[in-house]
Chains A and B, each alone.
Chain A
Amino acid sequence: MDVNIDVVIVGHVDHGKSTLIGRLLYDSETLPEDKLDEIQIILEEYRKQFQFAYFLDSFEEEFKEERTIDTTRVMFKGRNYYTIIDVPGHTEFIKNMLTGACHAQIASLVVSASDGIQEQTGRHAFLIHMLGIKTVLVAINKMDLVDYSQAAFEKIKDETANLLASLGFSVTVFVPISAIEGDNIYTPSERMDWYHGPTLVQALDETEPEAASEKPLRFVVQDVYHLDAEKVTVGRIECGTMRKGEELVFQPSGVRGKVHKIIDFPEEVTDGKAGDSIGIVVGYETRRGDVGGHIETPPKSVDRFLGEVVLIEGTLKRGDVFSIKCGTNRGECLVEEIRERINSETGEVIEENSTEVSKNEAATVVFKTPPMVVDNFSEIPQLGRFVLTRDGRNVALGIVLESMV
């Protein structure tokens, strides 16, 4: 079986994220035969010069305006399979950046050697840290614009290392690249003999995936189906394992009892593991929004927790009510307290005990909720992440810092 690793390429606008991916596809001969012809037709129609980013972007607006608007993904094969996630670098498209980045296990932060750290360099780094991405490979791009100078590379490297350290990352890989010229992405550069480290693809291939740690069972209930004589509770095991015959407790409904059957249609099975979408027969009433777990390590229902949020649209004020969704549980929540308002470019606290948070800012917030199961994001991410919805739109994302406050 091939391993697939999702890699998001982040960084400030025009620092060369899409160009890097286009170059990677080209140099590794990943593109289909007719892709160049297809691009050629468009170039002629719009009287444009070729750019590597065109291997990737697809909206007409993106092509004309020469910027990425929404996230996209391409597959690339190195030692592993990689799904490379391209995201926009403009501040107005943060929601699209997050939509792409939330699926990644690894990030590559692109910083221009000629431009240095800019607004979205910091914000993207802050956001991927919050999303729980621990592995970051830094690509110092546009080395061609600084004459492939080691001094220029070291300067930007130090600045970026400081920024990442201040956000809590420990990063060791910094690769000097030129996406336009193809240096050190797929092919080792001959123009930087002072650099002895890996190419970006080698660095990716050398990255060891995090070992999965043992976690308590969390079975998230999606629905209950009434089939013939049986009621089948369907859902997903987010973490841990479940065996037939075990005693489970479901929160917030509070019911408990034995697992009579585990169904992975059309088969009946004896156990289930993390990731499995299964049906179980338990002989008592569960409902959507419930989370099942073992008696010894039960899911805990809370009605208040401390979270960290990033606001994507509008404002978030003390006393505001949002719809919150965590797992499959949805309910109304109240913003009871805004403990800190945080600059999402730097991670710095702007103000303590605030009354209002603006778009693109982060904050630590105490939420009052109906009874729902949440876990600390650092322990069980699947039940420690949530969205806030207003007028039907997802306007903020958040992670649970402390489930009991």
Chain B
Amino acid sequence: MLDLKELENESIYMLRESCAEFKKPAVLWSMGKDSTAVLWLCRKAFFGKIPFPVIHIDTSYKFKQMYQFRSKLVEEWGLDLLVTRNEEALRDGVGPHIEDKLDCCTKLKTEALKNCLDTYGFDALILAIRRDEHGIRAKERYFSPRDENFQWNYKDQPLEMWEHFQGLTGIRTHMRVHPILHWRELDVWEYVKKEGIPTNPMYFARNGKRYRSLGCEPCTAPVESSANTVNKIVDELRTTKVAERSGRAQDKEKAFIMQKLRALGYM
């Protein structure tokens, strides 16, 4: 475990920078452990009330329990929830059954988010990605610009020195802010434990299996585990050799698929 207070301090600093440097920020929430922890950090950074919208990209293929968890926290924390869906793609029958997972993720997640940005004009999106989740995410900056076509120009990322994050350089661009980029999976769970952050029940083991990472129902598989409490999850993570996203289909279909997804603006 790293020093949780230190991690929290750094993340809060970045969240406050996002609010100071950008006109219209928003935070993405998937109801998973990471983005729920980020909402928790936002509540701390802004003294109990998150001063910007909380976006949920709804692919319509999420687990039913996730929707229940969403309603519960929206009410308890007074969230300004904004749900975005790519209705057109859904009408056209795009879904996990189609051949190409890259296409499904791009249409139902990336494009749904793009439509939301076009409508509301957000110039900064706070996201709960972490370096240790995936090699491509490990290449990210804390403040990472997306161009006017929503794309990640990963071949020319900004010089990011110390706390001096680069701002935006063009119109119709937006910033992706990654306040827990340097946290590890174990740190998130230790933080959940220490702070008592509400957790989606799907992370806890039932019948010998639990979800390590939550995505769309058809593309997310549970891993073998008997960890049915936060404490047991923390213990499990101290020794496991199984990758966190081993149950996530879109990472695995082809070589470098995560890079291709993210270059197009995927989270």
A residues near B (Cβ < 8 Å) are 1-2, 4, 31-35, 38, 41-42, 45-46, 56-61, 63, 69-75, 81, 83, 95-96, 98-99, 102, 222-223, 225, 227, 232, 234-236, 263, 265-266, 275-277, 279, 288, 312, 325, 328, 382, 385-387, 389, 391-395, 397
Q: Which residues of A contact B182 (CB under 8 A)?
A: 73, 83
Q: Assess whether B44 is in contact with A60, with CB atoms less than 8 Å apart.
A: no
State the Cβ distance, A274 to closest chain B Cβ, in Å.
10
Q: Report chain B residues within 8 Å CB of A385.
A: 161-162, 164
> Closest CB of chain A to B232's CB: distance in Å?
20
**A61-B155, A222-B16 known; A32-B242 Cβ under 8 A:** yes
- A222 to B18 Cα, complex, angstroms: 10
Contact present for A34 and B246 (CB under 8 Å): yes
The distance in angstroms between the C-alpha atoms of A312 and B139, with both chains bound, is 20
On whether the beta carbons of B255 and A58 are closer than 8 Å, the reply is no
Kindly report which residue of chain A lies nearest to residue B137, judged by CB atoms. Answer: A58
Task: For A72, give its contact among B3, B10, B135, B170 (CB under 8 Å).
Answer: B135
A397 to chain B: which residues have CB within 8 Å? Answer: 159, 161, 164
B267 on interface, CB distance cutoff 8 Å: no
CA distance A31 to B246 in the complex (A): 13
Task: Tell whether, in the assembled complex, residue A33 and residue B241 are in contact, meaning their CB atoms are under 8 Å apart.
Answer: yes
Contacts of A31 in B (CB 8 A): 241
Q: Is B230 an interface residue (CB 8 A)?
A: no
How close is B255's CB to chain A, nearest CB, in angstroms? 4
With the chains together, A282 CA to B2 CA distance in Å? 33
Give bound CA distance, A42 to B251, whole Å.
13
Kindly provide the distance from the CB of A21 to the nearest chain B CB, expressed in whole angstroms. 12
Q: Which residues on the A side are within 8 Å of B45 (C-beta)?
A: 234, 265, 277
| B: number of interface residues (CB 8 Å) | 52
Are A99 and B157 within 8 A (Cβ)? Answer: yes
The complex places the Cα of A102 from the Cα of B1 at a distance, in Å, of: 23
Could you say which of A34, A60, A276 contacts B243, with CB atoms under 8 Å apart?
A34
CB pair A95 B159 closer than 8 Å: yes
* Complex partner residue of B255 from A57, A60, A275, CB under 8 angstroms: A60
- The minimal Cβ–Cβ distance linking B44 to chain A, given in whole angstroms, is 5
Count of CB-CB pairs between chains A and B under 8 Å: 145
Whether the pair B243, A35 counts as a contact (CB closer than 8 A) is yes
Contacts of B134 in A (CB 8 A): 58
Q: How far is the CA of A209 from the CA of B88 in the complex (A)?
A: 57
On whether A394 and B20 interact (CB within 8 A), knowing A33-B242, A70-B157, A73-B138, the answer reads: no
A46 contacts B255, C-beta separation under 8 Å: yes
* Residue B19, interface by CB 8 Å: yes
Which A residues are CB-close (under 8 A) to B16?
A: 222-223, 234-235, 277
B169 — which chain A residues lie within 8 A by C-beta? 391-393
- Contact assessment for B255 and A392 in the assembled complex, using a CB-CB cutoff below 8 Å: no
Which residues of B60-76 are within 8 A (CB) of A? none
Cβ A99 vs Cβ B135 within 8 A: no
Structural contact, A58 and B138, CB atoms closer than 8 A: yes
A4, B159: Cβ atoms under 8 Å?
no
Task: Decide if B154 is an interface residue (CB 8 Å cutoff).
Answer: yes
Closest residue of chain B to A29 (Cβ to Cβ) is: B241
B9→A276 contact, CB < 8 A: yes
| CB neighbours of A312 from chain B (8 A) | 159
Cβ-defined partner of A394 (8 Å) among B155, B159, B170: B159
Residues on A with C-beta less than 8 A from B19 are 223
Q: Is the CB of A279 within 8 A of B138?
A: no
Across the interface, do B164 and A394 meet the contact criterion of CB distance under 8 Å?
yes
Shortest Cβ distance from A237 into B: residue: B9
Nearest CB on B from A282, distance (A): 16
Among the listed B8, B20, B46, which residue makes an inter-chain contact with A288, where contact means beta carbons less than 8 Å apart? Answer: B20
A265-B47, A277-B16 as given contacts; A75 in contact with B158, CB under 8 Å: no
Residue from B136, B159, B167 in contact with A59 in the complex, judged by beta carbons closer than 8 Å: B136
Contact of A99 among B12, B132, B159 (CB under 8 A): B159
**When the two chains form their complex, are residues B243 and A58 in contact, meaning their CB atoms are under 8 A apart?**
no
Q: B48 near A265 (CB under 8 angstroms)? A: yes
Determine the residue in chain A with the shortest Cβ distance to B168.
Answer: A392
Contacts of A232 in B (CB 8 A): 47
C-alpha spacing A34/B245, complex, angstroms: 11
